[in-house]
Homo-oligomer: A and B are copies of this chain.
Amino acid sequence: MSQSNTSQSRGLARADTLDHIADVVVVGCGAAGASTAIAAAEAGASVIVLEAASAGGGTTAMAGGLIYMGCGTPIQTACGFSDTPEAMYEYLIRASGPNADPERVRLYVDGSLGHYDWLVAQGMEFKPEYYPTKNTNTPGDECLIYTGNEACTGFSEYAAPVPRGHKGRAMGEGGGSMLMEKLIASATAKGVRILCDTRARSTIVDDSGAVIGIAARSEGREILIGARRAVVLCAGGFIMNTEMVSRHAPWLQNHTTLNGNPNDDGSGIRIGLGAGGAAMNMNEGFVCLPFYPPASFVEAIMVDSRGQRFINEDCYHGRMGEAILKRYPERHFMVVDAGHLSDFNRPPLGGFRVTATGDTAEELEAELGMQPDTLAHTIRVYNRHALEGGDPLFRKHADYVRPLEGPYAACEVTPGSGAFFPVFTLGGLRARATGEVLDEEGNAIPGLFSAGRNSCGLPRSGAGYSSGMSIGDATFFGRLAGRSAAESPVRTMTTAR
């Protein structure tokens, strides 16, 4: 039995006895790890979860708690929406971006109703109420909300729009912590042992390269945990690891706010690479610019320093944030009109403020230092089209298109100008939908699985991301990985080389 560090198999175990042993050892107790543990326990496995922090929860416990589900959930139905597997698939395959995994999307869609039921079985409650206003989450305990680009150009042509963001019955941003409480309680009730303050350091591999356990540091000492059947890496992404981000996704570092918990340091990804797994999609990240709420700001236009529009402003705030951050350091502005001025009574969520004003478009343009007849022309064309009832240039939804009348104001939304750009990573271990970690050739590493942001999962594109795809992915594919791990063959535990 040899112990690998996070990068490569080498060296011998310092101890020749195991401190703990279970059928399935899960690294990380966020949404993916807890769901994996529950599913493995449901399949009859003994399960140990290793959590680096002093309590489970992970980044999901810090999140708003939206879960992307559809195909006609009881909540969708109760709120009067009809959804189909076809519509959900067509939407998600585009939302997943150019790197979409059709098999993963298909499984996720076909399992969505079952996943809703599973969440309810874990103790989740969902209030059958739809929140109709464009927002980043439901402000009260309403369940259902649009959380992506479903009704927007580039998506609505292919799939009838329907809201699929589901939040458990908690107020505002409390959905994630409630979800984690339920999942951890369910896991514990099923006999899962959670070892907190225990940081996984490497896999333990046998002479054939199969993973048979984890070496960890627990409360100040090195311990070895044997995994009779499998190890499942669910330790999150790498947004907190500055070195990894600068190497793999440097564009995420331009005046952004890191969205994660301190243990989203890529350690689970590195442990998997050390065991022979491959990484993929490491350059991608989620970025958002929460320019709404208030929803009225969707009626504004976004322009660059040439006064040119570049996007349909009714898009999801993640698509907007990605577009602007990808064009960094180009300057960008949100242009609002007289109808919006009262919206500034309360500071907008996005962290930006008015940087220029003008009674006319020409005055605003001049105050912004733009060339004459650039922004003014953009507003003129936009207004002409708005009077005709649409936006043929960028096909912003007609609900948000109206002529913009002076006086005008512009808010700078360039990264670094004060605007708020939260980011996290969307790359990780290459894995099958059922969790098996693969090497660059596509071969599975025996005994090694992964789910959640530790792997490259369902959400693969900042431009297409919808809120709820990460927690949806972590819980759904965590379940699949837990089941696969529990069914993985028992391996011989040699305790000395």
Which residues of A are at the interface with B, using a C-beta cutoff of 8 A?
A: 5-10, 98-99, 208-209, 243-244, 246-248, 250-251, 269-270, 273-274, 276, 278-284, 306, 308-309, 371, 373-374, 377, 381, 385, 392-394, 430, 439-443, 445
Contact = CB atoms under 8 A, between A and B. Distances in A.
A273 B278 contact: yes
A440 B270 contact: yes
B385 A381 contact: no
A392 B377 contact: no
A442 B247 CA distance: 11
Contact of A98 (B8, B250, B273): B250
Given A8-B209, A10-B208, A377-B377, A273 B440 contact: yes
B440 A10 contact: no
A8 B4 CA distance: 13
A441 B270 contact: yes
A6 B441 contact: yes
Contacts of A373: 377, 381
A366 to B, nearest CB: 14
Contacts of A9: 9, 209, 276
A474 to B, nearest CB: 21
A5 B377 CA distance: 61
A386 to B, nearest CB: 13
B247 A430 contact: yes
A127 to B, nearest CB: 39
Contacts of A6: 440-441
A439 B306 contact: no
A101 to B, nearest CB: 10
Contacts of A279: 279, 440
Contact of A8 (B248, B276, B282, B374): B276
Contact of A393 (B246, B280, B283, B371): B371
Closest 3 CB pairs of A and B: A7-B439, A283-B283, A98-B250
A245 B280 CA distance: 11
Nearest to A275: B8
Contact of A443 (B7, B251, B371, B445): B7
Nearest to A244: B440
Given A7-B441, A371-B385, A373-B377, 4 more contacts: A9-B276, A10-B208, A274-B440, A377-B381
Given A99-B247, A393-B371, A8 B385 contact: no
B280 A248 contact: yes
A223 to B, nearest CB: 21
Nearest to A10: B209
A357 to B, nearest CB: 23
- Name the residue among A9, A244, A269 with the largest chain B CB count within 10 angstroms: A9
25 contacts: A5-B441, A6-B441, A7-B276, A7-B440, A7-B441, A7-B443, A8-B209, A8-B439, A10-B208, A99-B250, A243-B442, A247-B280, A247-B430, A270-B440, A273-B440, A274-B276, A279-B279, A281-B283, A283-B283, A283-B284, A371-B385, A373-B377, A374-B393, A377-B377, A377-B381
Nearest to A326: B326
Nearest to A283: B283
Contacts of A243: 442
A443 B274 CA distance: 11
- Name the residue among A6, A440, A443 with the largest chain B CB count within 10 angstroms: A440
Contact of A371 (B99, B244, B269, B381): B381
Contacts of A308: 308
Nearest to A251: B98
A381 B374 CA distance: 8
Contacts of A278: 7, 273
A7 B440 CA distance: 6
A114 to B, nearest CB: 29
- Name the residue among A247, A374, A430 with the largest chain B CB count within 10 angstroms: A247
Nearest to A443: B7
A250 B100 CA distance: 10
Contacts of A282: 280, 282-283
Nearest to A377: B377
A427 to B, nearest CB: 9
Nearest to A308: B308
A92 B284 CA distance: 25
A295 to B, nearest CB: 25
A244 to B, nearest CB: 8
